Amino acid sequence: MDGAFDLMHYGHMNAFRLGRSLGTHLVVGVNSDESITECKGAPLMNDQERLTMVSSCKFVDEVVPGCPYIMTPEYLEYVIDKYKIDMVVHGDDPCIVDGKDVYASAKAAGKYCSIPRTEGVSTTDIVGRMLLMTKEHHMHQLDSESSGSRNSGSNNNQNDPSDKDNNNLLGRQSKFLTTSRMLKLFSSDLKAPVPGMKVVYIDGSWDMFHPGHVSLLKIAKQRGDFLIVGVHGDTVVNRVLGMNLPLMNLHERVLSVLGCRYVDDVLIDAPYEITQVMLSYLDISEVLESPDTGYGAASSNESCDRYRHVPQEARYQCPKNPCTFSLQNILQRIRRNQDQFQSRFERKMNAERQFFEIKHSSDNGHINGS
């Protein structure tokens, strides 16, 4: 399977999961910045960032960097020969450049197979949520936060008449239907910790799962044998971060964390304040404290030390995350080219709408695959 995987999300992870279920080994080609720019406009994340995200997904066995967006017969021959590929997989959405099917060569060679595209999420949809965040009145808050005066922990937009989008939690915009089956499919490889294992816990918002999160979870996993990741609920995240965050709702954030290869279990809607009952029930022997789990300086404004019930010897202060990537980076990139992203967003959203209307008016057996 190949693709751009820009702002990689759980829809891409589900595509990997489905692709892998068709065989025994999934090789994922990541399109180069250059070829994406040429064929559909510059990506928001660079080669390295997109490669990091794809490699971190537990459904991916091998990653090929620098893939061309258009699968030429020569490239098809090269990947078949080098990676012993039996089949090329792509979502069932059309992939056309200059009127030509990007996968024509694979189809002609009888090596092509499609999977149902995961409905309700796309890079375009996430960019749309970010574009709303970059609206002036939200941006004003962002600016004051970067200059040090973070929100004091209240949802500033909740009763703010200037919040014209009436859109206090961006995650509420999600069109994704989270079924228990999907959660199960993302969790099917998870096993209980065995006695004697060191169980480590880390929590956070994990909003718009990104390379900074992956780097931190890798560090966390190295602290023990079994990593439980707490994902805070939408109201908790909004209380701490303010604006109209989170960008992704709880279910979406849970799926992204579940798809990460360093994660052994997820505590859904984790308590903000870690309790002793929780430590004992989940057999947690170490709690990682990190300023990099999405809250940064905001959490230090909360009135209590949320780790205060954790015994001193079980508290571990994470070293500085070597990856400094944050949601703010992406917002800044969008902000720099606001008009360009806005028109690209409108164009792609229309195309996506048309695709789904056609798809649902004709056949339609499956949603999000099995």
Which stretch in 116-124, 141-149, 225-233, 322-330 sits in contact with ligand CTP by CB under 6 A? Answer: 116-124
Q: Nearest-CB residue to ligand CTP?
A: 91
Provide the sign of the torsion angle of the four alpha carbons 340, 341, 347, 351, taken in this order.
positive
DSSP H or E run through 16: helix 10-21
First to last CA, the chain: 17
Q: Which two tokens stand for residue 355?
A: 């695709």
Residue 82 and residue 336 in contact, taking contact as beta carbons nearer than 8 Å: no
Q: CA 370 to CA 367: how far, in whole Å?
A: 8
When binding is defined by CB under 6 A, the residue of 13, 30, 44, 91 that contacts ligand CTP is 91
Q: Does 124 bind ligand CTP (CB under 6 A)?
A: yes
Q: Does 15 bind ligand CTP (CB under 6 A)?
A: yes
Beta strands in 32-120 (DSSP E): 62-67, 88-91, 96-97, 100-101, 112-115
Least Å distance, CB 19 to ligand CTP, is 8
Which stretch in 58-66, 89-97, 278-286, 298-306 sits in contact with ligand CTP by CB under 6 A? Answer: 89-97
Q: How far is CA 3 from CA 31, 40, 44, 299, in A?
A: 6, 12, 14, 37
Q: Which of 349, 331, 336, 294 is nearest to 131 (CA)?
A: 331
When binding is defined by CB under 6 A, the residue of 3, 128, 212, 242 that contacts ligand CTP is 3
Q: Does 4 bind ligand CTP (CB under 6 A)?
A: yes
- At residue 203, φ and ψ (nearest 5 deg) are -130, 170
Let me know if 312 is exposed, middle or buried by CB neighbors in 10 A (0-12, 13-18, 19+). exposed
Peptide bond into 161 cis (omega under 30): no
When binding is defined by CB under 6 A, the residue of 5, 186, 206, 262 that contacts ligand CTP is 5
Q: Does 43 bind ligand CTP (CB under 6 A)?
A: no
Q: Does 121 bind ligand CTP (CB under 6 A)?
A: yes
Nearest CB to ligand CTP, comparing residues 5 and 325: 5
Least Å distance, CB 239 to ligand CTP, is 30
When binding is defined by CB under 6 A, the residue of 17, 20, 58, 90 that contacts ligand CTP is 90
Least Å distance, CB 178 to ligand CTP, is 14
Q: Which two tokens stand for residue 40?
A: 């559909």
Q: Does 117 bind ligand CTP (CB under 6 A)?
A: yes
Q: Which of 368, 343, 321 is nearest to 216 (CA)?
A: 321
When binding is defined by CB under 6 A, the residue of 41, 42, 87, 93 that contacts ligand CTP is 93
Q: Are strands 96-97 and 27-31 parallel, antiparallel or unpaired?
A: unpaired
Least Å distance, CB 353 to ligand CTP, is 12
Nearest CB to ligand CTP, comparing residues 183 and 282: 183
Least Å distance, CB 366 to ligand CTP, is 12
Nearest CB to ligand CTP, comparing residues 7 and 219: 7
Q: Which of 326, 82, 331 is nearest to 210 (CA)?
A: 326
Q: Does 123 bind ligand CTP (CB under 6 A)?
A: yes
Which stretch in 87-95, 96-104, 154-162, 313-321 sits in contact with ligand CTP by CB under 6 A? Answer: 87-95
Per DSSP, 171 falls in state: G
When binding is defined by CB under 6 A, the residue of 11, 171, 233, 259 that contacts ligand CTP is 11
Least Å distance, CB 268 to ligand CTP, is 22
Q: CA 269 to CA 249: how far, in whole Å?
A: 11
DSSP H or E run through 146: helix 136-146
Nearest CB to ligand CTP, comparing residues 91 and 259: 91
What is the contact surface with ligand CTP in residues (CB under 6 A)? 3-6, 11-12, 15, 90-91, 93, 117-118, 121-124
